[in-house]
Structure 1
Amino acid sequence: MGPDQAEDANTVAGVGEFGLIHRVIAGHEQPAGTVLGPGDDAAVLDAPDGRIVATTDVLVENVHFRFDWSNAHQVGRKAVAVNLSDIAAMGARPTGLLVGLACPPDLPTSVVDELSAGMWEEAQSAGAGVVGGDMVSATALTISITALGDLGGRAPVTRSGARPGDVVAVAGRLGWAAAGLAVLGRGFRSPVAVVSAQRVPEPPYTAGPQAADAGATSMVDVSDGLLADLGHVAESSEVSVDVRTELLDVPQRLVEVASALGADPRHWVLTGGEDQSLVATFPSAQAVPEGWTVVGSVAGGKGVTVDGEEYAGDAGWQHWR
């Protein structure tokens, strides 16, 4: 075997599509709800509820992740987390993932192995498995994931159910990933806590079904920023939402990082995306379940305000802007 052939054996081109698929699925156990896993024309999953919740996200190298900031294992976990948080935001339980991977032929197989390990780790933490997908050649590494979920007899919690008089509550972290992005953008790799939050979010998966059971009237995951994502709720529900800064948790670690960078930690909490936390509306403060924190209220009108005033500056991330 010549040196070129030896090098090919360590790339996706050398291993080939089916060899690559085998590397992704080998050695992993599917959850009980997987009737037929990878290896056939399509997977088969149990759907006890009779309805399927489905969502898709696409992550592109150097747009949604950078390998000089994150390793492949962390990218794999993040790719899964951003999808499964959408499932949780509907009040559903994750059941399965379909993974599409487009990559250059000279991509080392070790990168695929680490991506796969991260995907499986995050999926299994939420009770789901990787049940199928596709792999193709491309000039840039792109990951597309379709996540599936089961409502367990609940009505889906949409963005359009908020009503005047509701309270707004949050489960999960806010501002941590934005702080980590600011740190990485300055060329630093610490504090580890905020950098890790940017590399791998920690969605509160069980909080979605918990909120649905508690009577949440609307819900969305915070992927673009608290104000931006509440804007989707306000528009869909035809209401106004007011966030009260005195109710927001601004952790001391974020205050310290912001002080070092000359930034405003409340801005990260209000507008930072990628923490994949959940924000929901409830009929009353008494209906808010344990683990959720009230941060605002719903009224008639339209739009999102902070302490009764329009927020000065961007409300969060927007593509193509």
Structure 2
Amino acid sequence: MKSRSIWPRALVLSLLLAASDSEIQTVSAASLTKPSAAVQKVQEAKQAPALNARQKNAERLELFEKIGTLTGIPWAYLAAVDQYERTMNIARKRPIHEGSISIYFPPAEWVGLMNPDQQDTNPQTIALFNGFGKDGSGDGIADRTNDLDLLASMTSLMTKLGHKEEQIQISLWNYYQNSRSVERIKEFATIYSAFGTLDLDEHAFPLPVTADYSYHSTWGAGRGWGGHRIHEGTDLFARHGVPVRSTCYGIVEIKGWNPYGGWRIGIRDVNNLYHYYAHLSGYQKGIKEGDIVKPGQVIGWVGSSGYGKKGTSGKFPPHLHFGLYRDNGLAEWSFDPYPSLRKWEREDWTRRKSQH
């Protein structure tokens, strides 16, 4: 006997992004000359080229909005949880299924730790063993590779204590057991809410490409001040006071003095990358922690601050130290930003040429 879906079946069916071959109803002889709308849609989909990233994001956004209406969870939180899981899949090299949703449940947690059948897909027995798996598509199966089942399972988890934002955050902490994870999801949700879109992959070079500057790959080089350490970034040399710009859509996570980086600022993007800008001479007026920024937005100016107590400046030529760090949910590590800088520089020149 099939178990009932966690969502009303009529609404679930309306949420499907596109029907699959197995979901097309048998076509009657009378309709063979005129395919049903569902059949025609699938035929067109098979003939059409692969959807580009913008189209896929539009479909994902529509899905999050509809699920949000159904569950009472703000769509930005659903998008943020899915995006956080996506970044963890990358950082932890977890298996990724082919669907639109990136939420990952370990097999044992999906079916229940004490479940003798670790391949169980029956929602009733999964619930009996306190597994997270739910049936969101209405087919009586709790499938870890089904987008709607994954969303139904996550929304059930997120609303255990209620639908208020604080209650959702506590439920997420109970699941992740990690305040860092909850903070990242809150940040992503804030960014998505501010821009109202999932298309936030555009970047900008941290300096105006028309400025006089120079740089090369310096990541991993030795550094002596403050003890032996490696250089975790790329130095972009420019005149004092050249504008420093946000390289991404993101949220200002930290701002202030650091003995090594001087006046520095850190911005988190929705790919869970931390963009670090150091040795500034000052900040754009009014910018503060928690602010949302976009690519090309001025956040400060090139300087030579750092390597000493607060206010120390002039111990080295003016330049911007730019670093990139990836988060795996427990810690962060730096990686060479030079390839990204070269890419963003080319993209800025291309945009500039297209505008003239």
Name the larger-Rg structure. 2
TM-score interval, normalised by the smaller of the two chains = under 0.3
Q: Which one has the bigger strand percentage?
A: 1
Higher relative contact order (CA 8 A, sep 6+): 1
TM-score, structure 1 length as denominator? 0.27
TM-score, structure 2 length as denominator? 0.25
